Amino acid sequence: EEGPRENARSVSLRIIRGRGEGLAMYLILLGPPGVGKGTQGVLLADATGWERVVTGDLLRTAKDAGTPLGTQAQQYMTAGNLVPDHLIIKMVEEKLSTLSAGTGVIFDGFPRTEAQASAFAMMLEALGRTIDTVVVLEADDEVLSKRISGRRSCPSCGAVYNTVLAPPKKDGVCDVDGTPLFHRADDHADTVQNRLNVYRRETEPLIEYYDGSKAVVHRVPSQEGPDEVQSKVREALGVGE
């Protein structure tokens, strides 16, 4: 016979499996470079079936495809600066139009400025949606530097590894699909410092912006390993264990 704990667990699993019904949140993952937005976004999407909109990945794909957007964005990304707002806003607007109605969405890396946040609010209003939740991932600069210097990413499926903290099973190769992993051009030490400065100056003020909005803001300490952080994120959101 099921006890109250098992009952609660099966209810929350049913909610997760219900995908898109009731708990189809529009959620922003906010936090400094290297804090684990990508890592946590993948884990959360796996558990909930929500889609991910990752502006950094969209820009890297555009760059690899040699589109005008990719070519324009490249110089900003390589220097660790923000790509101009109007380019990002147009890109996200186009992406939003491709999302299925009723699905939850995890926005990773967007918005990053107040201009993006207010344009985003207007886009969502036109769709009859708002941002429900903002998850702010937090870690010390020392931890961020370690995470970034060891990061390796899969160009094919987006899986993220770390040579020291979360190595793939076989050196240099993705566990999921066997694709050779790459080291991002903007992950070198001097560029990383600029990305951190840009985050503090342009993006961190958005925490206050969303504190003053209808969205629920959760601050999640992210110094521990990926699974521990994911448990805290899900606990904060009330989407299972």
Active-site amino acid positions = 37, 112, 151, 184, 195
Tokens of 226: 């990926």
112 is an interface residue for ligand AP5 by CB under 6 A: yes
225 is an interface residue for ligand AP5 by CB under 6 A: yes
Tokens of 121: 């609010």
Stretch that binds ligand AP5, among 5-13, 93-101, 104-112, 211-219 (CB under 6 A): 104-112
Residue 104 contacts residue 48 (beta carbons within 8 Å): yes
63 is an interface residue for ligand AP5 by CB under 6 A: no
Residues in a beta bridge with 136: 30, 219
Contact characters 138-157, ligand AP5, x per CB under 6 A? ---------xx-xx------
36 is an interface residue for ligand AP5 by CB under 6 A: yes
Q: Which is nearer to ligand AP5, 49 or 150 (by Cβ)?
A: 150
Candidates 43, 59, 62, 106; binder of ligand AP5 (CB under 6 A) is 59
Stretch that binds ligand AP5, among 18-26, 96-104, 173-181, 223-231 (CB under 6 A): 223-231
Smallest distance from ligand AP5 to CB 227, Å: 8
Residue 137 contacts residue 36 (beta carbons within 8 Å): yes
48 is an interface residue for ligand AP5 by CB under 6 A: no
Total binding residues toward ligand AP5, as defined by CB under 6 A:
38
Contact partners, residue 192, CB within 8 Å, separation at least 6: 33, 34, 80, 144, 145, 148, 149, 186
Query: Vertex 227, ends 59 and 80: CA angle to 5°?
Result: 25
156-195: contacts with ligand AP5 (CB under 6 A): 160-162, 165-166, 186, 195
Smallest distance from ligand AP5 to CB 183, Å: 10
Residues in a beta bridge with 26: 105
Q: What residues make contact with ligand AP5 under the rule CB under 6 A?
A: 31, 33-39, 55-56, 59, 76-77, 80-83, 88, 109-112, 116, 147-148, 150-151, 160-162, 165-166, 186, 195, 222, 225-226, 229
